[in-house]
Amino acid sequence: MALGLQRPWQVLAGLLLCLCIGRWAEAGKVLVVPMDGSHWLSMREAVRELHARGHQAVVLSPEVNMHIRAADFFTLKTYTSSYTQDEFDSLLMSHVHVHFERVHFLTLFLKAMTILKKGTLMFERFCEDLLYNKDLISHLNASSFDVVLTDPVYPCGAVLAKYLSIPAVFFLRSVPCDLDAEGTACPNPFSYVPRLLTTNSDHMTFFQRVKNMLYPLSLIYICRVSFTPYARMASELLQREVSLVDIFGSASMWLFRGDFVMDYPRPIMPNMVFVGGINCAHRKPLSQVSRSRELEV
């Protein structure tokens, strides 16, 4: 009888203990490996929300970058890079200027490919500076992160997650060459799912379906130049053959900055979630002039 009376008190004590430590038990340590530029500006809002929910975020970035700056809702950890800030800025400006040059299409294409190769090499060097930094990797290992949040358009974060044996969450808009579908073994029929940049709808004629099948072939070279180095680095670090599909298939969760309101519906896997609009957290109210015009329309 005494034992029976003691059990409710034990249960109550356990519940009180859970209530006391619940906030701390839910919080986790998140290692963020972003892609610079507008990609980071979108991811930053997700990091802000993680901080608001009690999680601790550490953002990893080379010292040379465009927009990644310290903030009060995450810890910024930088590492030295093989490029100077001037070299970085010069390459970015050349990428912008080439699109405004009035030259023959073939000349423009060749210039764009040259800049693409230089940009790809730069980010490849950034990744090597990170992955082959023994002191930094040892520090990250000892920090016991729970998850890596990264944009797979810059696959270095995915490679780092595999190297550290930490679950990865991908935060992205899209990945060229249908690598997201290949990595997740997601159904991706050419006859029904419009391909990137084709301008096709989900109701296609026969010739549009042919275009939908052939158009992605033009991206194969770009994808080979941009992503192949990361498969090589992963293979060297893990001492086994690692393919791009292995890298992109390593994510525990895919968070797409899209929505079927703006994008055509397509098959998705259970670990794919659409979070369109997450980067629009700080909405500015319409001015009085804009409101009056909206009413007139």
Read off the pLDDT of residues 33-91 as tens digits, 9 standing for 90 and up: 999 988 998 899 899 999 999 999 999 999 999 989 999 999 999 999 988 899 888 88
Which phi and psi (to 5°) does residue 80 adopt? -70, 150
3-state class percentages of the chain: helix first, strand second, coil last, to nearest 5: 55, 10, 35
Read off the pLDDT of residues 100-153 as tens digits, 9 standing for 90 and up: 777 776 777 777 778 888 888 999 999 999 999 999 999 999 999 999 999 999
CATH class of 26-84+122-186+230-296: alpha beta
CB 219 within 8 A of CB 227: no
Every domain of the chain and the residues it spans: 26-84+122-186+230-296
Q: What is the DSSP letter of 177?
A: G
For the four alpha carbons of 141, 147, 150 and 154, in that order, the dihedral sign comes to positive
Read off the pLDDT of residues 164-207 as tens digits, 9 standing for 90 and up: 999 999 999 888 888 888 999 999 888 888 887 778 888 889 99
CB 257 within 8 A of CB 172: yes
Residue 286's pLDDT band (cuts 50, 70, 90) = low
Asked if residue 290 has pLDDT above 70, the reply is no
* Angle, alpha carbons 185-222-39 (nearest 5°): 75
CB 32 within 8 A of CB 150: yes
CA dist list (Å): 7 to 3, 4, 16, 105, 145: 6, 6, 14, 80, 37
Q: How far apart are CA 140 and CA 29, in angstroms?
A: 11
Nearest to 223 by CA among 263, 183, 194: 183
